[in-house]
Amino acid sequence: MSIMVIAKATFGEAWRKKILNIFLLVAIALIAFSVSFAFFSEREEMIIIKSMGLGVIAIAGMFIAVVMGINLIPSEIDKRTIYTILSKPVKRHEFLLGKFVGGVLTLLVNLSLMTIVFMAMVAWKMGWHVEWALLKGILMIFFQVFLLTSLAILFSVFTTPVVNFFLTSAMYIIGSLSSVTLSLSRLPEKALIVRWFFAFLHYVVPNFANFFTQNPLIHPEVVIKNELTYYVENILYAIVYASVVLIIAILLFERREV
């Protein structure tokens, strides 16, 4: 019960942050702007609209997740409201999970608003034919930012917001380059310690590249062998990885003096 109360308060607080609302409005404006590419052929135009829409939603979701996530715990400490909350019969793990659930709900609503505009723009350009397959790409973006939010929560337990911003952003960039880190870890001409370093990055940092589905959706000739398995595996990966990250965050938060 405490988790949902804290989640509801976090959700309401997030919607009062001007910077998050600006991210959302700019993203929606860019998605709407994408339909202005009328000087290309019909196929090129649709590829640009879809790729730009999915790209804008992914980038906006990532920025909202990071900017919101890095402030969830420190803002409560700075305002000293955390002392009031923890003085009540609220467990520390309930407080942290409530913050996470509130953050995820905020992301879900933000992504939903962007998705409505994106799907409407695509449907309009296709003669009001709704391309439901694009929702699979949005689903992967949601679980990508879901995972990213858990990392921002973890780092917010023991770092400042500025350090957290760079740490979380670095994890996202490295995780998006997982194919590169895997290749570097297998190059025989590299020193053993270098290969171990890149292997460590590849297997420890979340593989955010797994959630990039834009190419198959925009280019139908790119085929995923077993689509259901692909989506189920990635969703389970995000849930399990985020659960482990949150358990570590709870253990650290239990030991932190506030």
- pLDDT digits over 36-48, tens only? 765 667 777 888 8
The helix (run of H) or strand (run of E) holding residue 38 is: none
Name the region of 127 (left: φ>0; alpha: ψ -120 to 50; beta: rest). Answer: left
Structure tokens at 210: 């797994």
What are the CA-CA distances from residue 117 to residues 19, 32, 56, 178, 195 (Å)? 20, 7, 12, 31, 45
Using a cut of 0.85, tell me whether the model's pTM lies above it. Answer: yes
Higher pLDDT, 16 or 115: 115
Plot region of 128 (φ>0 → left; ψ -120 to 50 → alpha; else → beta)? left
Burial grade of 122 (CB within 10 A; 0-12, 13-18, 19 or more): buried
> Cβ of 175: how many Cβ atoms within 10 Å?
23
Look at the block and give the residue holding tokens 């709704």: 130
**pLDDT tops 80 at residue 100:** yes
